[in-house]
Amino acid sequence: MKIAMLARNANLYSHRRLKEAAEARGHTLDILNTLRCTVHIASHRPQVFYNGAPIQAYDAVIPRIGASITNYGLAILRQFEMAGIWSLNESVAIGRSRDKLRSLQILAKHGLGLPLTAYANDPKQAEEIIRAVKGPPVVIKLIEGTQGIGVVLAETMSSAKSVIEAFRGANVNILVQEFIKEAGGTDIRALVVGGKVVAAMKRTGAADEFRSNLHRGGSAQVIKITPEERSTAVRAAKRMGLNVCGVDMLRSNHGPVIMEVNSSPGLEGIESATGKDIAGQIIDFLVANAVNGNTKTKGRG
């Protein structure tokens, strides 16, 4: 099978592991720099060019689109889909997951556990939305943030109002969420592949850090999750429409609450913590399910 991966950095651990896993199984995997791809639009002839030349035929594509180029990357992926090339995660599903507000609205609609969340445009409503999530303290997040960047814990009403006013003054969109104190600076990352949780780890933040992201100095260890947590992760992936994703949850007094559904989860932390060949499981799922033209949306929005 010939597989394309859309990724800017071929040397990242996750990308190297997926390539190794594919080649170990006798497949070909080419890593295409997303920003070197161009779309040529012509009636009945959707086509992607790479470094100025038409791309060769591929059986499947693995999108590993960075958050900073989401819109461009999704435009390229849609063109692959329109050409009938099967995508591990489809463009519409990735777009849902990258919009934090939209993803929370979808998950809430289907009754999945979430922290209380409020959204407003006018900074004059700061106190109203802080009280709506039973704060302070509250967690304030940039809607476009990733890997813990743009996430602030505000412990008093005055500091929360100041942060909200500062963010809105910079014309960026934010969410305000309740602070789950009982989580104790830890969260759970459940890795879902093909509707099954294939691995899970507990991430603990560095000293004096409420964010548990490994990129911010956190540590990870293997964990046995509860049936409720497993069900929550699987349902979240299904509602987002993602075949592969990382579901980040907190353990609250009223059960698991979802913080984020990541459509391009990193593999280094969870493979190291669990000792599992996650990359191999992803490739096995792709090979078993990739059928030319069998995309749900075929690039439609």
> Tens digit of pLDDT for each residue in 32-64?
999 999 998 876 677 899 998 998 789 999 999
- State residue 241's pLDDT score: 97
- 176-202: average pLDDT: 93
Q: How confident is the model at residue 192 (pLDDT cuts 50, 70, 90)?
A: very high
**Boundaries of every domain in the chain:** 2-91+285-289, 117-179, 182-262
| Closest alpha carbon to 257 in 177, 201, 193, 203 | 177
Q: How confident is the model at residue 213 (pLDDT cuts 50, 70, 90)?
A: low
Q: 2-91+285-289 — its CATH code?
A: 3.40.50.20
**Residue 207: band (very low, low, confident or very high) from pLDDT cuts 50, 70, 90:** low
Q: What's the pLDDT score for residue 268?
A: 95
pLDDT surpasses 80 at 133:
yes
pLDDT tens string 60-93: 999 999 988 999 999 999 999 988 899 999 999 9
Partners of 204 in the β-ladder? 186, 219
**Does residue 233 contact residue 195 with C-beta atoms inside 8 Å?**
no
> What value does the mean pLDDT of the chain take?
89
Confidence label for 299 from pLDDT (cuts 50, 70 and 90): very low
Share of residues in the chain with pLDDT > 70 (%)? 89
The predicted model scores a pTM of 0.87
Segment 271-287 shows an average pLDDT of 97
Per-residue pLDDT at 298 exceeds 60: no
CA-CA distances (angstroms) from residue 34 to 29, 134, 180, 224, 285? Answer: 15, 42, 37, 36, 23
117-179 domain in CATH 3.30.1490.20? yes
Q: Indicate the Cα dihedral angle 74, 80, 83, 87, nearest 10°.
A: -100
Please give the class, per CATH, of domain 182-262.
alpha beta
Instruction: With beta carbons less than 8 A apart as the criterion, state whether 143 and 168 touch.
Output: no
